[in-house]
Structure 1
Amino acid sequence: MELEEVVALLDSWYPPRYADDWDRVGLVCGDPAAPVRRILLAVDPVAAVADEAVSLGVDLVICHHPLYLRGTSSVAATDPKGRVLHRLLSNGCALFTAHTNADAPEGGVSEALARALGLEQLRPLDADPAEPLDKIVVFVPVDAAEAVRSALTGAGAGAIGDYDSCTFTTSGEGRFRPLAGARPAIGEVGRPEVVDEVRIESVCPRPRRAAAVEAMLAAHPYEEPAYDVVELAALDDSTRGAGRWGRLAEPTTLRGFAERVATVLPETPHGVRVSGDPDQPVRTVALCGGAGDFLLDRARAAGADVYLTSDLRHHPASEFREHDGPALVDVAHWAAEWTWLPVLAGRLAEALGDTVELHVSTTNTDPWTFRV
């Protein structure tokens, strides 16, 4: 595999357009034409991970957190970030990051955390709006129907999930009378016509509307085709969005759930902090991998028994609990997001087979090193 092929695969799973405006994702360094034989997956692009990459002889490090979030005018090895970059480059190792674009989708960070905890019936806690769709409807003579269908689908209409070329056709009669100045493809000026026609319907991503209509009109035999473009209702995406909500297969107590969290996540000095009655029942869980206090209100609205995330601050947590919010479980940022790495490794192994050797870093890069 060449590096650009691996990058294209990652971008197809975690499209860069979904990254937050402030984020910096994608290929940080490396030659797109360079071969990739070994890959290391890690959460943080820090010195310890760079050293691990060099010791393993990997060609690519894929990290969740970006190396550079703010602009820089120098990558000299005079500061920690520059030293990481030089360590990787001098050993022929590329660096790629997928951050906020990897948080929300299926197979992303929050979903990986939810599945690691055994949650079922998953849905986004704050769903993204689904891609806006139109429905294009056109009436066409029977013998020209296939050409018009092909034109529509070739221009991007008719894609539904893992299917393309999706259309629906019904039969009927088209009636019209050409007037003076018309150049009818069928019939004569001044005489009413009845033509066997079909109605073709197909959904179309709104950004492809103009191209699909233009292609349809070019393929249609009529001088003045009859067609409709209908904007479909906006819906939430059932697979993409911030955080996750789910159910436990078996109810437990808050203490029991916290103990499960401590068992599933990598151990850190941070441990598992809990706010709530240890004996209260827990059936439904809301969570967000990484810093998730921006979803506190969503967790309350979802009716979850507990909300799990990282980096909760004193005042938001206190006010949340005072206003009858769910119990809170606060875990180490690194530990929660680490659960995504085995999921990503599995996807890469399935896609790349034995062409690439994969390593999941177990180096603890949490900034906190001990608790007194």
Structure 2
Amino acid sequence: MTTLADLIAVLDAAYPPALAESWDSVGLVCGDPAQESTRVMFAVDATEATVGEAIAWGAEALVVHHPLLLRGVDTVAASTPKGALLHQLIRSGCALFTAHTNADCADPGVSDALAARLGLAVTGPLVAKPESVVDNWVIHVPDSHTDAVLAALFAAGAGGAGNYRECALSMSATSQFRPVAAAVPTHGALGELHRVEGDRVEVVAPPSARSSVLAALHAAHPYEDPAYHLTERATLPSSLGIGRIATLRQPESFRAFTDRVARSLPSTVWGVRAAGEADRVVRTVAVCGGSGDSYLDAVTRLGVDVYVTADLRHHPVDEHLRMGGPALIDAAHWATEFPWCAQAEAVVRTALPNVQTTVSALRTDPWTLAAVG
């Protein structure tokens, strides 16, 4: 039986909660992790319409991008709009799960799905998140105790590297010491220089495990004062982060690229707006699913030809263009994030082939009318 916990494990692996911004709210909103989850629907928003659609389809889980409960609430009474949706979901046995800024920053994530929909080849993130900082422990151990010390370090949280565990580097080394004063040496005698054949062992560990790793080292090492050196790896950029930089397979005019965006994204009343010279040649493109005007300076520094995002505002756009920034394409917020639903669905289908999945066909873009005077 596939449970909600199984579904959560798959989604958390694809969109790690640790990537979410500190202000965000991601993960399980309602539902019992032990309940069966064999029918899962994906949508950008949990609205009255999408919740109704999920329940009518018999979904046991609704996975969305935008959090239903982002800001603090003091009631989920059924008389409130959000509370009413939660009551509907709970009564129908349908869980609600959110992957928001963690899905924005994941690789692949929201902006990768947008770039793929536009036919772009991604080269990296727009604003990269640094790789997780790790400690590098270098320890000298008598060869008679190498295995025991390594086992203790692994049990304390050291030795993890991506999808691998119990990782270590070990090489033969000769250490020396001269016990003095109140020393109680395991080998050698007070006042005499002593050399020991042993191993130089290196392992990595998260900084949060420093105390436990050090305690394990002292407990397993035969010396009263083990010789070790601890350094923190320099912060490096990663493939994770907000937005994506991408290239067109063949250059085209800004007018043609704007048409491409309009054809590629689901239609909305908001439509697709563009700002820039129509005949400008487009080769490199930055994309950011959802609201992206806070990255106008970043796309200018990177020197791309066009930036595709949503929710652009009058004054920032005007100032951006006057400062020589790249051309801009502003699409509906919902439309730029909708391609992620198919991506998330594919993740679940691949990992849990016995689960039935579907993407909500409903447009949850709130705008309903447009008029041209």
- TM tier relative to shorter chain: over 0.9
Distance in 1 (alpha carbons) for counterparts of 2:180 and 2:32: 64
Greater mean alpha carbon deviation, residues 57-66 or residues 250-259: 250-259
Aligned to 1:316: 316
Aligned to 1:358: 357
Aligned to 1:368: 367
- Equivalence map 1:1-372=2 (5 Å): 1-236=2-237, 238-354=238-354, 356-372=355-371
TM-score, normalized by length of structure 1? 0.94
Greater mean alpha carbon deviation, residues 81-90 or residues 329-338: 81-90
| 1:151 match: secondary structure | helix
Q: Deviations over 1:90-145 (max 9, x none)?
A: 32212111212221111221222122223224211111122112211111112222
Distance in 1 (alpha carbons) for counterparts of 2:162 and 2:4: 28
Greater mean alpha carbon deviation, residues 177-186 or residues 37-46: 177-186
Could you say if the C-alpha distance between residues 34 and 202 of structure 1 is closer, same or farther in structure 2, counting changes exceeding 3 Å? same
| 1:363 match: secondary structure | coil
| 2:144 match: secondary structure | helix
Aligned-residue sequence identity (percent) comes to 47
Tell me the amino acid that sits aligned with residue 271 of structure 1: G
Give the gaps of 5 or more residues in structure 1.
none
Shift of 1:15: 3.2
Greater mean alpha carbon deviation, residues 180-189 or residues 309-318: 180-189
Distance in 2 (alpha carbons) for counterparts of 1:246 and 1:150: 44
| 1:274 match: secondary structure | strand
Distance in 1 (alpha carbons) for counterparts of 2:133 and 2:258: 40
Greater mean alpha carbon deviation, residues 63-72 or residues 5-14: 5-14
Give the gaps of 5 or more residues in structure 2.
none
| 1:183 match: secondary structure | coil
Could you say if the C-alpha distance between residues 179 and 21 of structure 1 is closer, same or farther in structure 2, counting changes exceeding 3 Å? closer
Please report the RMSD computed on the Cα atoms of aligned residues, expressed in angstroms: 1.8
Distance in 2 (alpha carbons) for counterparts of 1:256 and 1:224: 70
Shift of 1:283: 1.0
| 1:143 match: secondary structure | coil
| 1:103 match: secondary structure | helix
Shift of 1:180: 4.5
Distance in 2 (alpha carbons) for counterparts of 1:288 and 1:47: 27
Distance in 2 (alpha carbons) for counterparts of 1:183 and 1:74: 64
Distance in 1 (alpha carbons) for counterparts of 2:77 and 2:227: 64
| 2:182 match: secondary structure | coil
Greater mean alpha carbon deviation, residues 6-15 or residues 127-136: 6-15
Tell me the amino acid that sits aligned with residue 357 of structure 1: Q
Q: Deviations over 1:234-289 (max 9, x none)?
A: 222x2211111122222222122222212221111222111111211111111111
Shift of 1:192: 2.4
Distance in 1 (alpha carbons) for counterparts of 2:231 and 2:48: 54
